Amino acid sequence: MDIIKALEWRYAVKLFDPERKIPQESVDRLVEAVRLTPTSWGLQPFRLLVVEDAAIRSSLDGACYGQVQTGTSSHVFVFACRQDITVGGEFVENFFAETIKQQNMSPENAEKFRGIITGFLKSLSPEAQAVWEEKQAYIGLGNLMTVAAVEEIDACPMEGFVPKAVDEILGLSEKNLRPVLLCPVGYRHADDYYQNYKKIRVPTQDFVTVI
Ligand SMILES: Cc1cc2nc3c(=O)[nH]c(=O)nc-3n(C[C@H](O)[C@H](O)[C@H](O)COP(=O)(O)O)c2cc1C
């Protein structure tokens, strides 16, 4: 589908058809769209969990204030930020080692690269770092939603959940992760009345300024 038509077609689904599953090949493409998402410094400070298990998806409804998108969807994509991004820590050191090796950096450039990123991370308070990490996950969510729409797969971006409850269901903190966003994907239910609503957006002339 044309990308603009796809963006007009998509909407935040409130009820998925629980009988319809996304083919594995499409799930893999959606995962790849998130994995290829650019992030600040390329650090990819979040990870993706794909919840296929029906019982776990249903239990997520309770953690989403009773919203039923998770339980009725085909798969739930969970964006979770890492909690182990520290200067000198294993995650950051592995990132340096892999990038320096794979990009075949000279020792001089490698030193500069380490210095710039280390300086950036040191400049962040813990709160600012948490926000910075979350911003990267939102870029991944944007890519996921756009690619899903182009593939005619429905989705619902979701911030409306209790992080502690999601953490308990998915056992995230033991993996050094914290949930930031959910995005159930699947196919809209014929009874989801939201598909009939007009899409509300600011008119272009009020939205964009050409200077
Ligand atoms: C980051 C983010 C979080 C959202 N959280 C929820 C949510 O928890 N539940 C829900 O039903 N919709 C949620 N939405 C959907 C928005 O309400 C919806 O995208 C917006 O009203 C525009 O409508 P449209 O996506 O149908 O065009 C969220 C959207 C975004 C981008």
Residue 119 has pLDDT above 90, yes or no: yes
Average pLDDT for residues 148-163, to the nearest whole number? Answer: 98
- Residue 71: CB within 6 Å of ligand 1? no
Could you read off the pLDDT of 1-15 as tens digits, one per residue?
899 999 999 999 999
Query: So what's the pLDDT on residue 161?
Result: 98
- The C-alpha angle with vertex 71 and arms to 140 and 184, in degrees rounded to 5, equals 15
Q: What is the pLDDT of residues 70-105, one digit of tens each?
A: 999 999 999 999 999 999 999 999 999 999 999 999
Q: How far is CA 36 from the centre of its chain?
A: 12
Neighbours of 70 (CB within 10 A): 28
Q: Find the mean pLDDT for residues 47-51.
A: 98
Q: Which of 159, 185, 198 to mutate to test the pocket of ligand 1 (most atoms within 8 A of CB)?
A: 159
Q: Would you state the pLDDT for residue 1?
A: 85
Contact 165, 65 (CB under 8 A): no
Give the residue, by CA position, lying nearest to ligand 1 atom 4: 158
Q: What is the pLDDT of residue 98?
A: 97
**What is the average pLDDT across 186-201?**
97
Token pair belonging to 206: 């009020």
Over residues 102-115, the pLDDT tens digits come to: 999 999 999 999 99
The CB of 45 under 6 Å from ligand 1? The reply is: no
Rounded mean pLDDT of 113-139?
Answer: 98
**Radius of gyration over every alpha carbon of the chain, rounded to an integer in angstroms:** 19
Model pTM? 0.97
- Tell me if 14 CB under 6 Å of ligand 1: yes
Nearest residue to 148 via CA among 190, 185, 181, 180: 185
When pLDDT is averaged across residues 145-160 and rounded to a whole number, the result is: 98
What is the spatial distance between Cα 98 and Cα 75, in angstroms, rounded to a whole number?
Answer: 31
